[in-house]
Chains A and B, each alone.
Chain A
Amino acid sequence: MEAPLSEDDAHLWALAAVFAVLSFFAIGGVNAVIPEMHRQAVDVQHWMTSQRFTDLFAIAQAAPGPNIIVVTLIGWEVAGILGALAATLAMIGPTSVLAYLVGRVWHRFREARWRVAIQNGVTPMTIGLVAASAYVLSRAADTGLVAVALTLVTAFVLTLTRLHPFVFLAAGALLGAAGLI
């Protein structure tokens, strides 16, 4: 490192490092690492306020596509288009290489005891992490009792019915815009 890094370069490297590490902890998907993403973006890296984080999360949820695009949006907020690319590539690159390699030999290990042991062991942790994501999100948004009620009703109905989740995202936006949340 001869030349000192410009501030933009430093941001890009920080984005790449944070999300590359984060991706390997995303057991059970992106929704398992929302609390850590929030902790990094708000408390550790000081990229944004907690409210800004939940705003970006909401935009990514309301947009079509894989929920990993919240990472794209965070990168874009921190360092523009290059930041969006750096964050996205860091989040998907290393784990994609792993998926590619494992995908070629997966059928051989499907019944292996170590594989079943890992899966059985990791599943409860994924459940805890995903529940923690819901909790951290509802705490991070600047909201009151109506929001908590909406969260619980949404969770209840979506658990018991096959209603499309977008119905609730749209309802949330409308209730919010009407000043009820």
Chain B
Amino acid sequence: MKSNPSTDEAPSLVEIFLAFSGMAILGFGGVLPWARRALVEERGWLTADEFTEVLALGQFLPGGNIINVSIVIGQRFRGVPGSFAAVAGLLAGPIVIVILAGALYLNYGQQPIVHHALNGVTAAAAGLILSMAAKMAMPLFRRGAGVQLALAVLTFAAVGLLGFALPLVLGVLTPIAIGISWWRLR
């Protein structure tokens, strides 16, 4: 960051690439926890508050959270080349690994045991994703935010249960949701 007290000069492109490759390769079941550890605790490139702010931005904008985070961090250190270095580091290793795994799947995917194992992974992954939703919803329960919970349930029903197209659902609900929260901020 521009006024980062913990570093005298910004990390080089190679350092950025290596930092993001490292956290990506470790990132089984999600990269973000490793990103915090690598950038804040190990390398001291960002303070905890700076990381939280960049993370909030990454979640606020559309697209992959960790992709957005790496774009912004790369940009703050080294501009456009910095962003490229961060995203390239983040994706290069995992893309090679996942395509190799895909090739194995094409050769052995017809085996019933592979098929069943993948179904098991999907079931657990669905639980992991459900827990993410639950963690995000908890503050709403505490605050007793009935309107917001109703919006969450409505979105779930439209996309999950009824299978409506996402652009349609977001096109209708987003203006309503933002309108309500704008009105409530007055």
Contacts and interface: CB of A to CB of B under 8 A. Distances in A.
Given A64-B25, A103-B57, A130 B159 contact: no
Interface in B136-181: 136-137, 140, 145, 148-149, 151-157, 159-161, 163, 165-167, 170, 173-174, 177-181
A119 to B, nearest CB: 6
Contacts of A12: none
A37 to B, nearest CB: 9
Interface residues of B, number: 94
Given A63-B101, A128-B156, A150 B178 contact: no
Contacts of B5: none
A125 B25 CA distance: 31
Given A63-B98, A65-B90, A176-B116, A114 B182 contact: yes
Interface in A94-149: 95-96, 98-100, 102-104, 106-107, 110, 113-138, 140-143, 147-148
A138 B68 CA distance: 28
**B interface SS class:** helix
Given A35-B163, A127-B137, A121 B116 contact: no
Given A121-B182, A128-B152, A147-B123, A65 B71 contact: no
Interface in A46-66: 54-66
Contacts of A140: 122
Contacts of B105: 55-56, 59
Contacts of B67: 66, 68, 92, 95-96, 99
B26 A64 contact: yes
Contacts of B91: 65-66, 68-69, 72, 88, 92
Contacts of B57: 99, 102-103, 106
A68 B94 CA distance: 10
B94 A130 contact: no
Interface centre among A39, A64, A102, A124 (most CB of B within 10 A): A124
A151 B127 contact: yes
Given A99-B57, A125-B155, A143-B123, 17 more contacts: A24-B62, A25-B167, A33-B166, A54-B119, A61-B128, A66-B64, A68-B64, A81-B99, A118-B60, A122-B177, A123-B136, A125-B173, A125-B177, A129-B155, A154-B131, A174-B117, A175-B120
5 contacts: A28-B59, A134-B126, A156-B127, A175-B120, A176-B121
What are the 7 tightest A-B residue pairs by CB atom distance, in nearest-first order?
Answer: A65-B94, A154-B127, A176-B120, A128-B155, A95-B63, A132-B160, A172-B124
Interface of A: 21-31, 33-36, 39, 54-69, 72-73, 76-77, 81, 84, 88, 91-92, 95-96, 98-100, 102-104, 106-107, 110, 113-138, 140-143, 147-148, 150-159, 164-166, 168-169, 171-177, 179-181
